[in-house]
Structure 1
Amino acid sequence: MNLSLQFARTITVAAAMFVPWCAGRAQQFVPSSTLPDAPAPVSLNSSEAKPIDDSSSPATAPKKAGLTGEAANISGTVLDVNGDLVPGATVIVTDPQSGEHREAVANDTAAFVFTDLAPGVPYNLTVKAQGFADWTSGPIVLTPGQYDFLTDVRIKILAESSSVTVYASTEQIAAEQVRLAEQQRVLGIIPNFYVVYDAKNAVPLTTKLKFKLALKVSTDPVTIAGVAGMAAINQAANRPDFAQGAKGYGQRFGVVAADAETDILIGGAILPSLLHQDPRYFYQGTGTTSSRLRHAMFSPFICRGDNGQLQPNYSSLGGDLAASALSNAYYPQSNRGVSLVFGTFAIGTAERMLSGFAQEFILPRFTPGLAKNKKDAH
């Protein structure tokens, strides 16, 4: 048990014992003629604490008992079966003969106390707490002036309360799904982050997650290696019209990186956030081959909105077109113009169609851990 809680409980019990004892001792030394009139008794069942008739109510038994002996007290601490404190439990003391009862709430150290109880009455004590079975004592008969401290108040956890159901928010589920998607790599190497293999249970991404995913893809070492490889291919093909040598390779590396970065950022984060669309490819995996083929081929033109409905893929098409238009700002003068914009746009769209086909029919078998990711994302 925590030592600070044990100390606090000890202090609480000691104070509860000391105060009634002092009050009883003081009454012995004060002449009865100087004692003020006792206040009218309070109804035990009334929430408004209204005075009741002292001559007829059983609730006045403790005061009547004072004529022949001191009133008694009951206190204790509410614990579970493991010995842990249960603060906030409701404790009820009942006189079964009259039906009168009093309630108390266990404090932060799970302690409770009842004072001014009538001697000779067979009281029952009941403890109730959320998630626990009710606990009821046997008859407790007190003698005049007795202070009974109960040590056996231990309540059991309900069987149905032994398991806990955790409800996560949509944002938390989306974050977990993105975390799992960031582990998807073809052959364990090539990033495959923008594919959802469990489309049925996928939730929409927040703006923050859309930018996070775009940044993750664009800064991945394999993506950077791919940019370097494409720049080498362009160097060998002498396109665009930069010089050869290290300077020309650096320029080609720069334009390939800029093309990729603007396409990912605009088409994968900015426009999807503004238009409330999902930039990911949702793997179908079932149905006829023709239906899966149509799903893959139309993926550049049809997307899923954040509302779960199919929509024209303005984000993807707009991202390709915007990235192509921006390339006019850094390509050599001889390569700029309308042909560069729409030529690059057409190539980008064709690449997306080919990518959809590969995602639907080829890449899943080379992407390990998909079954585990589906299970963990739920």
Structure 2
Amino acid sequence: MHASRVRALLSALLFSSLVSGSLYAQALPDAPSQQKTHSALQGHIIDTNGAPVADAYVTLVNAKGANDQVIHSAADGTFLFNNLDPATVRLTVTAAGMETFISPEIRLDAGETGHIPEIILPIAPANTEISVVATQEQVAQAQLNAALHQRALGVLPNFYSSYIWDAAPLNFRQKSWLAFRSTTDPAEFAVIAIIAGVEQKRGTFKDYGDGAEGYGKRFGAAYADVVVSRFFGSAVFPSIFRQDPRYFYMGSGSVRHRALYAMSTAFIQKGNSGHFQPAYSRILGSVVAGAVSNLYRPDNNRGAGLIFRNVGIGIGGHAVVSLVREFVLRKVTSGIPDYEQGKPVAEITVAPPAKK
């Protein structure tokens, strides 16, 4: 490994450890009337030779969905964001011919001027495309692309588990793509095949009959239920209500606390703001799926009861699956970066400047 690459790696490790592992005491305001409500964030960008990087694009991405801010580094490589609202943010730094830098999450408190560790940008390989600005949508897309490689036991898709607690919210296109990928995955068809087999063995929906024809009808109906519920409950309604269809892995706390959290996600889900809300999207998705299923289920099974059946299965099934996501899937899922560990035990705080 070249010395420049080693230096860049050590810088990244130092940045991560200083940002995520240190909490600093903040000075008390002189008087309540002088208390500041806005924050600032500043830093310094250099290359692997120690020279300042001028005119780098520095993007501040708010994890809660607020507008992104973009500035350029000065001739000496410094940058400063002023008048920031207290929030959890990320920094993305890009410059022509240099590799892109993305920071861990940074917490800004009211009245704080945060100084982040020195950022070192290594030279990018010749075939690397340089993205000038990494917006919140691009961050969400990168996280989604990574999630689409998550498979339990190397086979079963685990696309809807987010191991980044404050993941960037998805837009309608991204939610729709996630729903499409999950419902067209070969493993999904295998699960539907098992469900149809169990229904046939138990004689569920008897008017479908037996044999290959009855099995085919059960398979088609079960798959239609999944597609309609997934599309409306995980794409359409989440976009209308600005909610996130994913399960956010907690990973920290007592077993009881994590279990209660997992089961509660049958009734609540995260909004794009990062706060939990009633699960309008998921429940309405089950209602729509139940209503639509009246078009293809046997006449004897149609009616309001079919809708309540879908809603009940949706809520109960989600609670069970969430428990599995919280306690089992993280251990057997491939494709999860080591830094994705769920809800942090302590919030990350940027170090305030030292008193002189």
Write the letter of the residue equivalent to 2:256.
S
CA contact (8 A) 1:131 1:161 kept: no
Decide whether the 8 Å contact of 2:151 with 2:335 is kept in 1. no
Cα distance in structure 2, aligned partners of 1:252 and 1:369: 34
Cα deviation, 1:339-361, whole Å, max 9, x if unaligned, reads 22212211221010011111111
Q: Give the secondary-structure state (helix, strand or coil) at the position aligned to 1:370.
A: coil
Alignment of 1:1-378 (within 5 A): 163=122, 167-200=133-166, 202-241=167-206, 242-372=208-338, 374=340
Give the Cα separation in 2 of the matches to 1:281 and 1:161: 35
Asked if structure 2 preserves the Cα contact closer than 8 Å seen for 1:189 and 1:222, the reply is: yes
Deviation of residue 131 (structure 1)?
A: 7.7
Distance 2:161 2:305 in 1: 31
Amino acid aligned to 1:283: Y
Contact 1:303–1:310 (CA under 8 A) maintained in structure 2: yes
Contact 1:205 1:278 in 2 (8 A): yes
Aligned-pair CA distance for 1:162: 6.4
Q: Is the 8 A contact 2:262 2:323 kept in 1?
A: yes
Contact 2:157 2:182 in 1 (8 A): yes
1:354 counterpart SS class: helix
Q: Distance in 1 between matches of 2:334 and 2:315?
A: 28
Deviations 1:258-308 (A, max 9, x none): 111111101010100111100000000001222211110110111111121
Larger radius of gyration: 1
Percent identity over paired residues: 38
RMSD: 2.5
- Does the CA-based 8 Å contact 2:286-2:311 persist in structure 1? yes
CA contact (8 A) 2:146 2:335 kept: no
Separation (CA, whole Å) in 2 of partners of 1:131 and 1:294: 51
| d(CA) in 2 for partners of 1:131, 1:210 | 42
Tell me, in whole angstroms, the C-alpha distance in 2 between the residues paired with 1:287 and 1:236: 42
Instruction: Return the alpha-carbon distance in structure 1 between the equivalents of residues 179 and 270 of structure 2.
Output: 17
Indicate the structure whose relative CO is greater, using CA pairs within 8 Å and at least 6 residues apart: 2
Deviations 1:302-358 (A, max 9, x none): 111112121111001111121112111110011112222212211221010011111
Q: Which moved more, 1:363-372 or 1:181-190?
A: 363-372
Distance 1:171 1:237, change over 3 A: same
**Alignment check: 8 A CA contact 1:297 1:356 kept:** yes
Q: Tell me whether 252-261 or 231-240 shows the greater mean CA deviation.
A: 231-240
Report the TM-score when normalising by structure 1. Answer: 0.55
Separation of aligned partners in 2, 1:302 and 1:161: 41
Output one character per residue of 1:195-223: Cα deviation in whole Å (capped at 9) or x when no partner: 101113x1000111000000000000110
Instruction: Name the CA shift for 1:172/1:373 in 2 (closer, same or farther; >3 Å).
Output: farther
Amino acid at match of 2:145: R
Amino acid paired to 1:247:
E
Query: Secondary structure of 1:286's match?
Result: coil
* Cα separation, partners in 2 of 1:371 and 1:161, compared to 1, 3 Å: closer
Describe the SS at the equivalent of 2:269: strand
Look up the SS of the partner of 2:272 in the other structure.
coil
Distance change >3 Å, CA 162–CA 268, structure 1 → 2: closer
CA distance in 1, matches of 2:316, 2:273: 27
Q: In 2, distance between residues paired with 1:365 and 1:331?
A: 39
- CA deviation map 1:202-247 (0-9, x unaligned): 1000111000000000000110121122112212222212111221
Q: Matched residues in 2 for 1:320 and 1:169: separation?
A: 33
SS, match of residue 154 in structure 2: coil
**Within 1, Cα distance between the matches of 2:292 and 2:199?**
19
Contact conserved, 1:180 with 1:373, CA < 8 A, in 2?
A: no
CA distance in 1 between partners of 2:215 and 2:158 (Å): 27
Q: Which amino acid aligns with 1:357?
A: L
Please give the alpha-carbon distance, in whole angstroms, between the structure 1 residues aligned to 2:171 and 2:237. 13
Instruction: Count matched residues.
Output: 220
AA in 2 matched with 1:335 = N
1:163 and 1:371, CA in 2 relative to 1: closer, same or farther beyond 3 A? closer
Deviation at 1:163, TM superposition (A): 4.6
Contact 2:200-2:210 at 8 Å conserved across structures: yes
Q: Is the 8 A contact 1:321 1:345 kept in 2?
A: yes
> Which sections of structure 1, spanning at least 5 residues, go unmatched?
1-129, 133-159
Structure 2 unaligned regions, length at least 5 = 1-74, 78-118, 124-129, 342-356
